[in-house]
Amino acid sequence: MPPTRLGPCCLAFSGSDGECKESWVSAKEQEPGGLRLRAFLPLLKKAAQGSSSSELSCSKAAIINMSSIAGSIEEIRLSENVQYISYRCSKAALNMLTKCQSLGYRQHGILCAALHPGWVQTDMGSSAGHKPPLTVDVSVQGMLNVLCSLSEKDTGTFLDWEGKVVHW
């Protein structure tokens, strides 16, 4: 069952007043190629300040970066195909960004975490000729469950779709 209440979140969740949706459209129009955090940051700060809770959570304000276990330096396996080096490096950089964001935005009441969706049955996931174990629906439901359970202790962490810690 999907969560009933997630607050403003850079993962494309929006507040009930529609403010994030308007800013999202505006940010996409102004900056082709994707959204920029600076477009969302004032909205996230406003949501965090307006929350009655003092604890960090996704129901208050959160930045959730979609990462991959491929960006984990500790979990790398030498036997894996080296053709994905640039992808791995970009995810490792995203993980560093997540940790930096968690240190910088905690004071503003914004939770920051990186999330690995698992090995999912998508065009990218199936590209090596093996069938991934997770369907998109199972991965998304798992990530939504994780998002609903995130709290102060999880800011600055790297978790998988089941809520298990992934080593940096």
The answer to whether residue 165 is domain-embedded is no
Task: Mark residue 90 as left, alpha or beta (left: phi above 0; alpha: psi -120 to 50; beta: remaining).
Answer: alpha
Would you state the pLDDT for residue 95?
A: 94
The answer to whether residue 12 is domain-embedded is no
Would you state the pLDDT for residue 22?
A: 36
- Radius of gyration of the CA atoms of the chain, in A: 16
The answer to whether residue 167 is domain-embedded is no
Q: Give the integer Cα–Cα distance in Å for 162 and 157.
A: 13
List, in sequence order, every residue forming a beta bridge with 113; answer none if it has no partner: 64, 157
**Residue labelled with tokens 């997770």:** 134
CA 38 to chain centre: 16
The answer to whether residue 153 is domain-embedded is yes
Would you state the pLDDT for residue 81?
A: 57
* pLDDT band, very low/low/confident/very high, at 76 (cuts 50, 70, 90): confident
Q: Which domain CATH number covers 137?
A: 3.40.50.720
* pLDDT over threshold 50, residue 112: yes
Would you state the pLDDT for residue 10?
A: 42
Nearest CA to 147 out of 66, 68, 69 is that of: 66
List, in sequence order, every residue forming a beta bridge with 63; answer none if it has no partner: 112
Three-state DSSP at 47 gives helix
The answer to whether residue 81 is domain-embedded is yes
The answer to whether residue 89 is domain-embedded is yes
Number of domains into which the chain is organized: 1
Q: Average pLDDT, stretch 19-45?
A: 55
162: which DSSP letter? T
Q: What percent of the chain has pLDDT over 70?
A: 72
**pTM score above 0.95:** no
The answer to whether residue 142 is domain-embedded is yes
Q: Average pLDDT, stretch 90-112?
A: 94
Direct distance between the N- and C-terminal alpha carbons of the chain, in angstroms, rounded to an integer: 30
In Å, how far are 8, 88, 131, 163 from 127, measured between CA atoms? Answer: 34, 16, 9, 26
User: Nearest 10 degrees: CA dihedral of 28, 16, 14, 98?
Assistant: 130
Q: Give the integer Cα–Cα distance in Å for 149 and 106.
A: 17
Q: Structural domain of residue 109, as residue ranges?
A: 19-160
* pLDDT band, very low/low/confident/very high, at 130 (cuts 50, 70, 90): confident
Q: For strand 62-66 and strand 157-160, is the pairing parallel, antiparallel, or unpaired?
A: unpaired
The answer to whether residue 11 is domain-embedded is no
* pLDDT band, very low/low/confident/very high, at 27 (cuts 50, 70, 90): very low
* pLDDT over threshold 50, residue 23: no
